[in-house]
Every structure is written in structure tokens, then in C-alpha cells.
Amino acid sequence: MPPDLECRFRFDGIEVGPLAIVDLSATGFAATAPAELALAPGSILEGFHLVMGGQVIWSGDAAVVHGSPERIGARFTSSVLDLHHMRLGATIDERIAVHREQRERLPAEWRAAVADVRQLLEDARAEMEDLERAELHDPMRRADGEAHLFAALRARWGREYYEAIARLHEMSKTLDERAASLGKSYATSMLMPLLAACTMHRRAYEKPLGYAGDYRLMELYFTREFAGEGLFGRFLHSIAQNYTLGRTVVAREVVMREAVRAACASEGEGPVRILALAAGPAIELRRFLRDVRDLRRPVELILLDQEPAAHESAHRELTRVLLEQHRGMLPVSVKCVHSSVRQLLKPQTPEDRAVLEETLSGLDLVYSAGLYDYLPQPVAALLTRLLYGLLKPTGRLLLGNLKETPDTTWIMDYVLGWTLLYRTEETLLALGEKLSPPPLQRDITRDATGECIFLDVTKEA
């Protein structure tokens, strides 16, 4: 209920109220009551008004069914209350109040900059719709033709769009906490109706699995088949893939795949044990298995994730590659572990403890791409020490974190509600300062874009 919902009425010719409403239904209400107001059951409340923000939103009569020194309860006797209409009125009033505060708190040039981005999107949609009406596309060659068209448009329209987003990122740094909150609702309402035509933007915003960067969204960064509502939606898919951090998602996969390749090529006895932490779709493992020809040692791949659908997708695709590319002859096993960071740090059940003591012990490589983007520094430090302890001597820890990037960070934070914890090289290196025994190597590894930095640690022999 709205916090400012109140009531007033007449009893025995005396005006009473306003009293705060504490409960409400279609047939009655409860309200706070001063100690001196003694209303016995059956008392008639005439000229009853529901009031919100000083405005009367419903009127009628009521009869008391409960009275005490703290509160009264009554049922409506003139008509029932249409809660849907009241909710609509309350919502509209709240929106009007928010709009008013946005105008007061958000700088005019900031709102104009958001409107400029909207106009860019409107213009692109209009041109795309004109093109769709003018041409009949052959579905067999649409993909190649659209890829070339989108690349050409990104070189011109895309440059303007990305630069406008980057300017907004800088302008938004001057907003205080309340203004930033208002700015996010403003930017979302202005831009999301257009961006929703794109499957990637819409999924990040709607978060069907409860968080933005789920396994399916990661797969959409790599696909060559654009998805969306019409030509405009598919074009925005290509735009999403080419935000700076969109390109980084693809580039960081190469770093992880090379780490897997190096671990599998290492000397030693027994199987190579590799943990993909917050594995998601495990695209780096799909590509590694697709390209590898032989292995000098058996390989045990352990995929840890809290999302069952991610395990299903990853296991299905890895199994398909092993069967189709290698006819099941490559000495590789795949194990999916359904677990979370909380379960790793504070195991509560025998099953949780068995995961740490048996499944995740003696690892040659532990790597993660996006998990640390969501972990506060104290939690990240605890998890880093735990993972380091799971490594065998000379084992490697590779933990990625994205850097703040203007053309992507603003869209994610202000429009999509996708907030990350960005780190610098210094704050990422700090996570490895208290490892015991001291590591043989503690360094930073970067992807090709330079926007994903990895804490790269090798355990001493």
C-alpha cells in the first residue's frame, strides 16, 4: 500500500482524521486510531474518504466491526472498493511524482543526451522498417547479407551511438545517489522500449533466470545468427555484440581456452583436473575439444555452476563434440557440479563438504571469467584463498574481472539493470596477497581487448 494512504470520516457529526490506513480490501479497511477515539462495533462512519497525497481517491460509508485503543476495523456499506482502479490511480500519482523529481534533480543536458540516444534508435528503426517493406529477402542468403549490412551500419551509425553512450557515462559521474537512481528509471523508460526489439538487450533486462549474465546470454555473444524482432532487432543484436565489453566476452574466451590447452599439455602423472568455476555454457571447452587432436594424459573437466540449465546446455554440447569429432575415443570426462559460492565458502551438508574434499581436490587449473564481477572484495578474497588451496603443486589459478568501459558500462547500469563490480589491476592483484604458501607467480593476464584482466597465480612446487 502507498505509505501516505489515509482516511477521514464523520462520526456523530464530528470530523475524524486523517488516520493512517494499515490494511485494505475491496470490502473494508483497518486504520490506526488515537486512544481517545472509542468506536464500538456497529458505529456508522459517514462521509468516509480514502485520501492519498492530500487527494480523495474514494468515497462512501462504512460500519465499525472492531474497535480498540490502537486501531479500528470497518466494512464498507455503500459499495465495494475497486482495488484495480485505486491501484491504477496510486501508480499514476507515483509516476507523476517521479517524473516531477526527475525534472528537478536530473540536469537538462543529461536528459537531452538520453533523448539524443533515443532519437538515434528511432531513426535506425525507421530506416530498417523502410528497408524491410521495400525488399523481399531470400531466407537462404539473409544471414550473410545482413551481416555485411550491419557491419557497414556499425561503422557509421554505430560509431555515433557508442560515442553518445560513452558521453552519458561521463556525464552520469556527476549525479548523486538519488539523482543516479532517478536517472536509471528515466533512461530505462526512454530507451528500453526500443532496445527490447533485440533478444540480447531484452534478456539482460528481463533476467529470466534471476540475473543478467546467464548462460544463454553468453551464447548469444558468440552466435553468428542474429536474433530479434525484425531487421531492427537483429541489427541491435550486432550492436550488443560490438559494445566494447561485448567484444571482450569473446576475447576472454581465448585466454581461458589457451589456459586449458596449456594445462592439458603439461608433464605429470595421472589425469589433468580442470575446474571451470561459474562455467555457464563452457564455450572455451567446446572449442578446445573441437580443435584438439590428441592428449598425452586423461583430462577431467569439472563444471561448477548454480544454474541447472547451464549444466544441461554445456554437457549436451561437450558430449556432442566428443562423439562427433572424436567418436568418444578422446580420454576426457565431464562432471557437472551444482553448487554456489556460498556453498563453497560455508558448506552446510555432507554433500557440500564432499564436493570440496573429494571432487575439487588436487586441481591443475581453476579458472573463471565472470564470477568475480559480482563478488565484493572480502568475499572475493576468501574465495581466492579457498580455490588456491584446492590446487596441486604448480597448479594455476586464472580469475577474470571486467574493467569499467564507458560505451558498455552505462547501458548495463542505467538501462539494463546489470550492475557489475569492476576492478583495477591493483584491486585484483590484492586478492592474491595473503595466499599461503606464497605463490610461485602472481601476475595480471589480459585478453586481446585489454578490458578483461585475470589474476594469474601459479602455486609453488
> 248-296, pLDDT tens digit by residue?
999 999 999 999 999 999 988 899 999 999 999 999 999 999 999 999 9
Say if residue 35 is in the same domain as residue 162.
no
Confidence at residue 191, expressed as pLDDT on a 0 to 100 scale: 97
215-222 vs 244-264: helix axis angle to the nearest 10?
100
Overall domain count for the chain:
3
Length of the chain (residues):
461
CATH code of 47's domain: 2.40.10.220
pLDDT digits (tens, 9 = 90+) for 219-255: 999 999 999 999 999 999 999 999 999 999 999 999 9
Say if residue 207 is in the same domain as residue 288.
no
Confidence at residue 140, expressed as pLDDT on a 0 to 100 scale: 46
Say if residue 90 is in the same domain as residue 122.
no
Interior/surface letters 4-27, b for 16+ CB within 10 angstroms, e for the rest: ebbbbbbbeeeebbebbbeebeee
Say if residue 310 is in the same domain as residue 414.
yes
pTM for the structure as a whole: 0.80
Q: Residue 141 above 60 pLDDT?
A: no
Say if residue 202 is in the same domain as residue 115.
yes
Q: From CA 369, how far away is CA 372, in angstroms rounded? A: 8
Say if residue 147 is in the same domain as residue 213.
yes
pLDDT digits (tens, 9 = 90+) for 401-456: 999 999 999 999 999 999 999 999 999 999 999 899 999 999 999 999 999 999 99
Residue type, 132: E
Say if residue 129 is in the same domain as residue 205.
yes
Q: From CA 396, how far away is CA 399, in angstroms rounded? A: 10
Confidence at residue 138, expressed as pLDDT on a 0 to 100 scale: 54
Say if residue 83 is in the same domain as residue 117.
no
Q: From CA 422, how far away is CA 328, in angstroms rounded? A: 41
Q: What's the start-to-end Cα distance of the chain, in Å?
A: 62
CATH code of 351's domain: 3.40.50.150
Instruction: Decide: 96 and 84 in contact? Cβ < 8 Å.
Output: no
Q: Residue 165 above 80 pLDDT?
A: yes
Q: Residue 50 above 50 pLDDT?
A: yes
Confidence at residue 58, expressed as pLDDT on a 0 to 100 scale: 86
Of the three residues 242, 259, 292, the one that is the final residue of a domain is 242
How does the average pLDDT of the chain come out, rounded? 92
pLDDT digits (tens, 9 = 90+) for 81-132: 877 766 665 666 677 888 889 999 999 999 999 999 999 999 999 999 998 8
Residue type, 54: G
Say if residue 123 is in the same domain as residue 92.
no
Exposed / middle / buried, residue 203 (Cβ in 10 Å: 0-12, 13-18, 19+)? buried
Angle ∠(405,152,418) on CA atoms, nearest 5: 30
Of the three residues 51, 78, 102, the one that is the final residue of a domain is 102
Of the three residues 242, 271, 290, the one that is the final residue of a domain is 242
Gyration radius from the chain CA atoms: 29
Say if residue 57 is in the same domain as residue 91.
yes
Say if residue 230 is in the same domain as residue 344.
no
Q: From CA 45, how far away is CA 15, in angstroms rounded? A: 10
CA contacts within 13 A on the Cβ side of 71:
10
Closest C-alpha among 115, 89, 119, 90 to residue 102 = 115
Neighbouring CB atoms inside 10 A of 402's CB total 25
Q: From CA 407, how far away is CA 161, in angstroms rounded? A: 9
Q: From CA 164, how far away is CA 114, in angstroms rounded? A: 9
Closest C-alpha among 235, 225, 236 to residue 192 = 236
Say if residue 451 is in the same domain as residue 306.
yes
Q: Residue 139 above 90 pLDDT?
A: no
Q: From CA 162, how far away is CA 411, in angstroms rounded? A: 10
Q: Which domain holds residue 13?
A: 5-102
